[in-house]
Amino acid sequence: MKHLLVAAALVALLLFLITRKVSSEPYVYDEADYMYAASLGYFANWTDTPTLSLPDFLRIGLNRGKQAGGRQELSEFIRQSNDMVFYRHWHGPLYHFFLIPVSRLGLTEHGVRAAMLAIPAVALLVIYFGCLWLIPGTRAILAALLAGVLFLSSFTVFRSTELGPHQLFALFYLGCLIFLAKSVASGRRSDWYAAIIMAALAFCTLEVAFVGVLTLAICGYIERDRLNVDWRLTARSIALFIATVLIVWPAAIFRLTFVKSYLFMAYLALARKGSWGNIGFFRTWGNRILSSPLEWAVIAFALILYLRRPWQKDNRFAYPFLIYSLLMLAATARVLSDSARYSLPFMPALDLFAGGILAQFLASLRRPAAFGIAGVLVVGLCATAAYEAFSHPVKPDPHPAAVLEHIRRANLTNKALLVPQGDLPMIHYYFPATRLRGYYTPQPVPSDLEGFAPDAILYP
pLDDT tens for each residue of the chain, 460 residues long: 788 898 899 999 999 889 888 888 999 988 999 999 999 999 999 998 888 777 877 777 666 555 545 556 666 667 777 888 888 988 999 999 999 999 999 899 999 999 999 999 999 999 999 999 998 877 888 899 999 999 999 989 888 899 999 999 999 999 999 999 999 888 889 999 999 999 999 999 999 999 999 999 999 999 888 888 888 989 999 999 999 999 999 998 988 888 888 887 777 666 666 566 677 788 888 888 888 888 999 999 999 988 887 666 667 788 999 999 999 999 888 888 878 888 999 999 999 999 999 988 888 878 788 788 888 888 888 888 888 878 777 788 899 999 999 999 999 888 888 989 889 999 999 998 888 888 888 888 888 888 788 888 888 8
DSSP secondary structure letters along 32-71: HHHHHHHHT-HHHHHHT-S---HHHHHHHHHHHHHSTTHH
d(CA 421, CA 131): 45
The gap from C-alpha 200 to its chain's centroid, in whole angstroms, comes to 15
Q: What SS3 state is found at 149?
A: helix
Q: What is the pTM of this model?
A: 0.91
Residue 68: the pLDDT is 46
d(CA 324, CA 315): 16
Strands 435-439 and 456-457, by their bridges, are unpaired
Contacts of 145 (CB under 8 A, 6+ apart): 6, 128, 355, 374, 378
The 10 Å Cβ neighbour count of residue 113 is: 22
d(CA 459, CA 219): 54
Phi, psi of 114 (to 5 degrees): -65, -40
> Which strands make up the sheet holding 435-439, listed edge to edge?
435-439, 416-420, 456-457
Q: What SS3 state is found at 420?
A: strand
Radius of gyration of the chain (CA): 23
- CA distances 36 to 45, 68, 104, 287, Å, are 11, 29, 12, 32
The 10 Å Cβ neighbour count of residue 138 is: 14
d(CA 42, CA 166): 20
Confirm if 277 and 336 have CB atoms less than 8 A apart: yes
Confirm if 324 and 148 have CB atoms less than 8 A apart: no
Q: What SS3 state is found at 457?
A: strand
> Which amino acid belongs to residue 33?
D
Contacts of 383 (CB under 8 A, 6+ apart): none
Task: Give the closest residue to 94 by CA, choosing from 342, 338, 215, 261.
Answer: 261
